[in-house]
Structure 1
Amino acid sequence: MKTEREKMTAGEPYQQYDEELQQRRSVVRKELSAINSLSNNKEQNQRLAKLLGNSGKKLWIETGVQFDYGYNIHVGDDFYANYHLTLLDTCPITIGDHCYFGPDVGLYTPVHPLDPDQRKADVEMGKPITIGDNCWLGGHVTVLPGVTLGENVVVGAGSVVTKSFGDNVVIVGNPARVIKTVK
């Protein structure tokens, strides 16, 4: 029988108030509070890397980062995120190499049921998010559950990405749509 963590990470319905999950969220909140109050960015990012599932060389996230669990976040080499990054990682969030995020970017994997009885029962699910290599997400970009962005994608500031896109495109808007190709 699967644990609630295993069901959550697999995108299956799970109970969000499971003791193990609540404990991890509490530990992460406490650690992020301490990390976000540090003035030394190098120390901040070294401590952040220890909370993540894995991270490549040159992880740099400015202060104000928030996430649920950390162990479902996988970041490639040369990653930069500006202030107030939010990663809701009930399912895996995978970010490729050489990616750059503007301020106030949010990647959200949780999916809440449409059925009110399921919501009342606190049943949650999720869908993974994958960001390919060499992507740039402008400030205030929101990426919704289940989205995959290919390589070399640029997402314009303020965009809401509700579906997946392939390689070499610039997308903008709410919902985001392709406005041009690159390369």
Structure 2
Amino acid sequence: MNTSERTKMAAGEWYTCLDPELEALRVMARDAVFEHNSLPPRQRGDIGPALKSLLGVVGPGARIEAPFHCAYGFNIVLGDGVFLNAGCTILDTAPVRIGKGTLLGPNVQIYCAEHHKEAAGRQAGLEIAKPVEIGDNAWIGGSAIILGGISIGDGAIVGAGAVVTRDVPPNTTVVGNPAQSVRRG
């Protein structure tokens, strides 16, 4: 059975990102992102038209400030009233779900792709995609980095500059690199 690289990516299996189909999807995303980032704010609205149609789901009142970058777009789900501040990057090789009322500060980065540990695998473009789930009413501080496979619970706070390498329970505050809990509840 000949399984496409996109199918492998969606299944969370090792795939090569150097695949022509995946490159074509990334080109579509870059075009939509370019439009979003280039439109005057009054014309763009909350999210540029091409980017909004590319994203998986966009809840009412969701807003993405420019500049913004994503890898594919179709894997991104934004709940009602989600706010992504300027400079956010989402490398959405896997689903990224951001719950309602959640705020992302400037330059937050979400990385779903994990590259192969062996140099030959990296040179061959091998990656594995791991989803990210951010609950409702969370606050992700500026320049935080969230790695693939992470779940951040409802009401959690991730301090500015934190690198999140483990799940964050609901109503917990984490800070630092790697992010460590400083408060619960």
Normalised by the size of structure 2, how large is the TM-score? Answer: 0.94
Say yes or no: does 1:118 pair with 2:117: no
Say yes or no: does 1:63 pair with 2:66: yes
Deviations 1:6-64 (A, max 9, x none): 21122111121211111111121122112101112563515232110111111111101
Question: How far is 1:120 from its partner?
Answer: 2.2
Q: Distance in 1 between matches of 2:3 and 2:82?
A: 33
Q: Which residue identity is paired with 1:40?
A: P
Alignment match, 1:17 = 18
Aligned CA RMSD, in angstroms, stands at 1.3
Q: Which residue identity is paired with 1:178?
A: S
In structure 1, list runs of 5 or more residues that go unmatched.
Answer: none
Contact 2:13/2:129 (<8 A) preserved: yes
Number of matched pairs:
182
Contact 1:9/1:72 (<8 A) preserved: no
Deviations 1:57-88 (A, max 9, x none): 11111101100100111111111111011000
Normalised by the size of structure 1, how large is the TM-score? Answer: 0.95
Contact 2:59/2:80 (<8 A) preserved: yes
**TM-aligned CA distance change 1:46 to 1:26, over 3 Å:** closer
Q: Distance in 1 between matches of 2:104 and 2:33?
A: 19
In structure 2, list runs of 5 or more residues that go unmatched.
Answer: none
Question: Which of 142, 153, 162 lines up with 2:165 in the alignment?
Answer: 162
Question: Which of 130, 133, 142 lines up with 1:130 in the alignment?
Answer: 133
Alignment match, 1:38 = 39
**TM-aligned CA distance change 1:41 to 1:157, over 3 Å:** farther
Percent of paired sites with the same residue: 38
Deviations 1:130-155 (A, max 9, x none): 00111000110100111101110011
Q: Which runs of 4+ in 1 moved over 6 A?
A: none
Q: Distance in 2 between matches of 1:106 and 1:122?
A: 21
Question: How far is 1:181 from its partner?
Answer: 1.6
SS at match of 1:125: strand
